Amino acid sequence: MKSNCNTFGALRLGLMARELELGGLLADAAPLAALDGEYARVAAALEELCTG
């Protein structure tokens, strides 16, 4: 996921994924929720680019 994010310019999403990977299992679900939100934002932006 990190490499693909960086390839498509979603640097923040790639960084968030990297931090989660390096941090291991978390008791707090907030970082996963933040990752999910950023993913939704990036997906919408890519969809907009594809459909114009």
Per-residue model confidence (pLDDT) at position 1? 83
Under 8 Å between Cβ of 12 and 2: no
pTM for the model stands at 0.83
Q: Per-residue confidence at 51, pLDDT binned at 50, 70, 90?
A: very high
Residue 18: pLDDT over 90: yes
- Tally of domains within the chain: 1
> Which pLDDT tens digit goes with each residue over 23-45?
887 788 899 999 999 999 999 99
Domain range spanning residue 32? 2-51
Only one residue has tokens 């390839």, namely 7
Handedness of CA 50, 6, 11, 30 (dihedral sign): positive
The total of other beta-carbon atoms located within 10 Å of residue 16's CB is 22
| Mean pLDDT value across residues 6-32 | 90
Distance CA 13, CA 35 (A): 7
